[in-house]
């Protein structure tokens, strides 16, 4: 989904404007990080390898190409990256076709952003087929724009996805709030110059300048996101 509709800013008390909100998918809006690990374990079991749980923290949150390449290296399995990617996507899609659980607070946040006409983009490192399938659970009407990992040459942790989302919505990155659940995604948002809210899902995310860490999306609402635009970027929250 893309749109040429210009961003509709939401003005704060001091005149600063939140121009858009960018939301990650896996682990942020939908509780699927466990699904990915199950798909990876299933595929590798079929290839004759039992994955050690120690690998889980390494592969979570990153683009599938990076995770798949890492698992090929540590297991020594005789398969190419493109071949493995096809198997992993197929196994994951089979799981999510039955629907995906939303993270606490996700549906309320999406409804609030839509009600106030805040331009919202879904920015994911997952493949387009996966993103489009999950939109059935999230509601495509909640997003002005969606970007998948294979829509761009470089995905997270590079800033390209967030810079692209801002450009397509006609917004300034520093006035776009990013919500992410992994350090990979947080790194991408910060590199793009966006104020970032970290909602850790599997692994901890340390506080840092310009970064706000919360426990759940239930702590995130429109006034909270607006406040990120007016607060000093040098503070640690």
Q: Which two tokens stand for residue 76?
A: 């020594």
Q: What is the mean pLDDT of residues 55-60?
A: 79
State how far the Cα of 81 lies from the Cα of 47, in Å rounded to an integer. 14
| Backbone region of residue 172 per phi and psi (left: phi > 0; alpha: psi in -120 to 50; beta: other values) | beta
Give residue 7's pLDDT band: very low, low, confident or very high (50, 70, 90): very low
Q: Are 67 and 79 in contact (CB under 8 A)?
A: no
Q: Are 16 and 229 in contact (CB under 8 A)?
A: yes
Give which of 22, 27, 25, 29 is closest to 195, Cα–Cα: 22
Give residue 14's pLDDT band: very low, low, confident or very high (50, 70, 90): very low
Indicate the pTM of the whole model. 0.81
* Percent of residues, the chain, with pLDDT higher than 90: 70
Query: Given this model, what pLDDT does residue 231 score?
Result: 65
The pLDDT mean for the chain works out to 88
Query: Given this model, what pLDDT does residue 235 score?
Result: 44
State how far the Cα of 71 lies from the Cα of 49, in Å rounded to an integer. 10
Q: Which two tokens stand for residue 109?
A: 């946040």
Query: Given this model, what pLDDT does residue 3 score?
Result: 36
Better-predicted residue by pLDDT, 203 or 134: 134
Which residues neighbour 95 within 8 Å (Cβ) at sequence distance 6 or greater? 35, 38, 39
Residue with tokens 């540590």: 74
Q: Please provide residue 145's backbone torsions phi and psi, each rounded to the nearest 5 degrees.
A: -155, 145
């Amino acid at each position: 989904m893309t749109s040429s509709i210009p961003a509709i800013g939401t003005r704060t008390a001091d005149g600063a404007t939140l121009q858009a909100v960018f939301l990650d998918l896996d682990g942020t809006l939908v509780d699927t990080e466990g699904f990915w690990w199950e798909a990876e374990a299933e595929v590798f079991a079929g290839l004759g390898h039992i994955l050690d749980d120690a690998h889980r923290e390494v592969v979570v949150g990153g683009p599938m190409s990076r995770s798949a390449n890492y698992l090929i290296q540590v297991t020594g399995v005789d398969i190419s990256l493109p071949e493995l990617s096809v198997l992993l996507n197929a196994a994951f899609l089979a799981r999510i076709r039955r629907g995906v659980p939303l993270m606490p607070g996700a549906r309320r946040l999406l409804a609030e952003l839509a009600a106030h006409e805040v331009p919202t983009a879904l920015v994911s490192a997952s493949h387009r087929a996966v993103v489009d399938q999950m939109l059935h659970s999230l509601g495509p009407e909640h997003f002005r724009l969606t970007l998948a990992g294979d829509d761009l040459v470089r995905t997270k942790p590079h800033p390209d996805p967030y810079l692209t989302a801002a450009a397509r919505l006609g917004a300034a990155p520093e006035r776009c709030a990013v919500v992410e659940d992994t350090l990979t995604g947080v790194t991408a948002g910060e590199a793009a110059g966006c104020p970032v809210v970290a909602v850790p899902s599997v692994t901890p995310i340390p506080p840092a300048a310009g970064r706000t860490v919360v426990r759940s999306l239930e702590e995130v609402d429109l006034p909270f996101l607006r406040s990120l635009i007016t607060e000093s970027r040098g503070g640690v929250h």
